[in-house]
Amino acid sequence: MKSIKEIEKLSVEELERIGADESIPVPGDLSVKIPSRKAPVIAWSAAAAAVVVVAGFIGLRKPSDTPADTFDDPYLAYAAVENALCKISGSVNSASVKLEDAESTFNKLNYWK
């Protein structure tokens, strides 16, 4: 019996000759079915189809001409912008506090190097 490396080195003609040789005994237990690889292919095909459908729905949506969150009163608009900027400022401030804590921990670890 040949090893896999020896079989890989055979040419196409040699493989065809070996396949056509009737003197090579064929095992009798070849009735066992080899599992099909169609299930993963079907699953990947279904996933790809779902992505295409979702992308189609997103692409076909018509954007509105005017934004939904407009203000008629400039004072209300200013108040909404101020509120949004305060929220952003609070997030940045809390992140800077966490960064300072991490920096002090890092400096303690760096001290012991």
pTM above 0.75, yes or no: no
Q: Do 71 and 77 form a contact (C-beta atoms < 8 A)?
A: yes
Query: What does the block give as tokens for 7?
Result: 């079989």
DSSP state of 3: -
Spatial CB neighbours of 80, under 8 Å, sequence gap ≥ 6: 71
Calculate the alpha carbon distances from 74 to 34, 37, 39, 58, 81 in Å: 73, 64, 60, 33, 10
Chunked in runs of 10, what are the mean pLDDT values of the chain (113 residues)?
Answer: 80 84 74 66 79 78 65 87 90 81 75 58
